[in-house]
């Protein structure tokens, strides 16, 4: 099954890709997924202040600054994985170094 792991953060300390690549626990987690051929893509998201939200109402495009919802935590990155089942996806998310500080949402893809 395919899942998206949405890795949250509170933005208190923004880490660049280079800073994340210098964290041994983070690198080990990514390397493990790569070696097991489970990763289908990973993306580090820029901060919510750089986001735009688009809505169309009555045929008019409305663009607002920031994310859709006001929250203390935001999606800082995503990992696309393919694994046997939800239990394995939970184990993978639990092993992420951020799981001890922030939530990681696991969402399955619609299967074709």
Fold of the domain built from segment(s) 2-108: Alpha-Beta Plaits (3.30.70)
Tell me: the pLDDT tens digits for 64-112? 887 766 677 888 999 999 999 999 999 999 999 999 999 999 999 987 7
pLDDT bucket at 1, cuts 50 / 70 / 90: very high
pLDDT at 36 over 90: yes
- With cut-offs at 50, 70 and 90, classify the pLDDT of residue 53: confident
**With contact defined as beta carbons under 8 Å apart, do 17 and 44 qualify?**
yes
Q: What are the residue ranges spanned by the domains of the chain?
A: 2-108
Does 14 have pLDDT greater than 80?
A: yes
Q: What is the mean pLDDT of residues 15-44?
A: 94
Contacts of 49 (CB under 8 A, 6+ apart): 65, 66
Distance of CA 65 to the CA centre of its chain: 20
């Amino acid at each position: 099954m395919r899942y998206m792991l949405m890795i949250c953060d509170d933005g208190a300390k923004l880490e660049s890709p280079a800073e994340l690549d210098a964290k041994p626990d983070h690198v080990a987690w990514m390397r493990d997924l790569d070696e097991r051929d489970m990763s289908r893509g990973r993306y580090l998201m820029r901060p919510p202040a750089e986001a735009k939200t688009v809505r169309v109402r009555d045929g008019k495009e409305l663009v607002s600054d920031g994310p859709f919802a006001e929250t203390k935590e935001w999606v800082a990155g995503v990992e696309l994985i393919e694994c046997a089942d939800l239990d394995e996806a939970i184990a993978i998310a639990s092993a992420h170094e951020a799981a001890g500080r922030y939530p990681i949402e696991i969402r399955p893809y619609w299967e074709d």
